[in-house]
Chains A and B, each alone.
Chain A
Amino acid sequence: MRFGRPPEGADDDRRLVARARGGDRTAFDLLVLKYQHRVVKLAQRYVRDPQEALDVAQEAFLRAYRAIGGFRGESAFYSWLYRITINTAHNHLAARRVRREETQSAEGEEGAGTSLEDRVQDLNTPEAMLLSDEIRRTIERAVEELPDDLRTAIVLREVEGLSYEDIARVMDCPVGTVRSRIFRAREAINARIEPLLG
């Protein structure tokens, strides 16, 4: 069986990107909504301070918007955004290092012992991870409890990254059925996490 799509989906965002390039801010807003979790997670690998991580994520998206005219779609949008985020985080760290050196030289040795990272909240504490862990567990349970056809469709899509056409081949059903199953699976999962998120 031939699968016509790379796992990460180079053209999943083709239409939204094309419209964003044309100045459609709603299209870019959807790209932000779609990738904000991944970008924040990535930023947190470089910057542990919550506010700074959000600032890096925000700056990465703004840079992406300014540069999207140069994005030719040769790679997946997220791969491109990933590189921008890493560059933004590196720049942020470099700027922070310079600021810290200036501050330390101004304050002298007395104030140099306490770094900013030592003073900020550690996001990896169990308390801080509580809600995201709860959501993740709830979603996993919801997937397990889905009917077989819905579960297979959503897992092939979200975990395996297959296109609708490839899922249709695997499940031996029309593409329209795949589309409907994935939607119904999402709605069912959404109904389960709704009480957590309000």
Chain B
Amino acid sequence: MIAQSPLSATADEAGEDCSALFDGAAGRDTTARLLGGMGQDARLRWRFARYALISSALRGQITDLSLDGGLAGRVLSRLPDERPGHAESRAARRLSWALAGGLAVAVFSTLVVRGIVVLPDTGFVMTGAATHAPTPARALRLASYGRPSRAAWRRGAPAEQRVLDEYLLTHLSASRDYAPVMAHARLAAYGTTMPLRAPRRPARP
């Protein structure tokens, strides 16, 4: 028969709570109390580590290397100061706002473009870098000099492919500082039969 560890009643109680915590069977308050107490009582952390060792050994998952007790300390000392997941959620929030903004612009652009189709003489001048970055439809029409206006990709047609490549380069360079807003606007404008007042030379990237 094995002798029990000599523990005081209080230590016994804390040890049993620690054992339950290891198994995920400690209540919320007990968990909070133990976590708070581990800052003051290193023996609790040590005990938790021993339970982990016993558990891993019974599962055949210890190696000499894992007995190097420094790993947890190394990890703890390198944890970033920021709350975990904080940066990620902030980035996700930024992305959500950007997407929402982009969607709003896309809707707005679609409405404007459709309006131009109905009223061909309405002036439509975008300001800024995007003015010189034609949509694929416009790019094709510029290349075809008045041929039928419906945009159509013909894979393998070198002239059209060149214009499309140029469009993409121009578009990427023009919308670089506006992503993802301009991407939405471009998508919305693609495929429309937007009339051109005068052929305009697309900007070089």
Chain B residues closer than 8 Å to A197, beta-carbon distance:
67
Encode A29-50 as 1/0 by CB contact (under 8 A) with B: 1101111111011001000001
Cα distance, A182 to B60, chains bound together (Å): 19
For the side of the interface on B, what is the size category?
35 or more
B84 engages A65 (CB within 8 Å): yes
Chain A residues closer than 8 Å to B78, beta-carbon distance:
58, 62
Q: Is B57 an interface residue when CB atoms closer than 8 A count as contact?
A: yes
B79 engages A9 (CB within 8 Å): no
Q: Is A171 an interface residue when CB atoms closer than 8 A count as contact?
A: no
Chain B residues closer than 8 Å to A169, beta-carbon distance:
none
State whether A15 and B26 are in contact (beta carbons under 8 Å apart), knowing that A65-B80, A179-B19 are contacts in the complex: yes
B57 engages A136 (CB within 8 Å): yes
Cα distance, A127 to B84, chains bound together (Å): 40
B151 to chain A, nearest CB (A): 41
Cα distance, A65 to B87, chains bound together (Å): 12
Q: Taking chain A's interface residues, is the majority helix, strand, or loop, or is none over half, making it mixed? A: helix
How many residues of chain A get a CB closer than 8 Å to chain B's CBs? Answer: 76
Cα distance, A53 to B63, chains bound together (Å): 11
B54 engages A190 (CB within 8 Å): yes
Q: Is A145 an interface residue when CB atoms closer than 8 A count as contact?
A: yes
Encode A114-135 as 1/0 by CB contact (under 8 A) with B: 0000000001000011111001
Q: Is B197 an interface residue when CB atoms closer than 8 A count as contact?
A: no
Cα distance, A140 to B50, chains bound together (Å): 15
Cα distance, A53 to B57, chains bound together (Å): 19
A128 to chain B, nearest CB (A): 5
State whether A66 and B88 are in contact (beta carbons under 8 Å apart), knowing that A25-B76, A190-B54 are contacts in the complex: yes
B56 engages A37 (CB within 8 Å): yes
Q: Which of B45-63 contact A (CB under 8 A)?
A: 45, 47-63
Cα distance, A47 to B65, chains bound together (Å): 12
Chain B residue nearest to A179 (CB atoms) is B20
A32 engages B71 (CB within 8 Å): yes
Cα distance, A164 to B53, chains bound together (Å): 20
Cα distance, A9 to B28, chains bound together (Å): 18
Cα distance, A5 to B31, chains bound together (Å): 21
Encode A141-173 as 1/0 by CB contact (under 8 A) with B: 011011100000000011100011000000000
Chain B residue nearest to A196 (CB atoms) is B67
Which of A16-24, A88-96, A101-109 faces chain B?
A: A16-24
Chain A residue nearest to B31 (CB atoms) is A15
Q: Is B179 an interface residue when CB atoms closer than 8 A count as contact?
A: no
Q: Which of A37-83 contact B (CB under 8 A)?
A: 37-38, 40-41, 44, 50, 53-54, 57-58, 61-62, 65-70
Chain B residues at the A interface, C-beta cutoff of 8 Å: 1-5, 7, 15-16, 19-26, 28, 31-32, 35, 38-39, 45, 47-68, 71-72, 74-76, 78-80, 83-89
**Across chains A and B, which 7 residue pairs bring their CB atoms closest together, nearest first?**
A69-B85, A12-B24, A37-B56, A23-B83, A183-B19, A40-B66, A37-B66
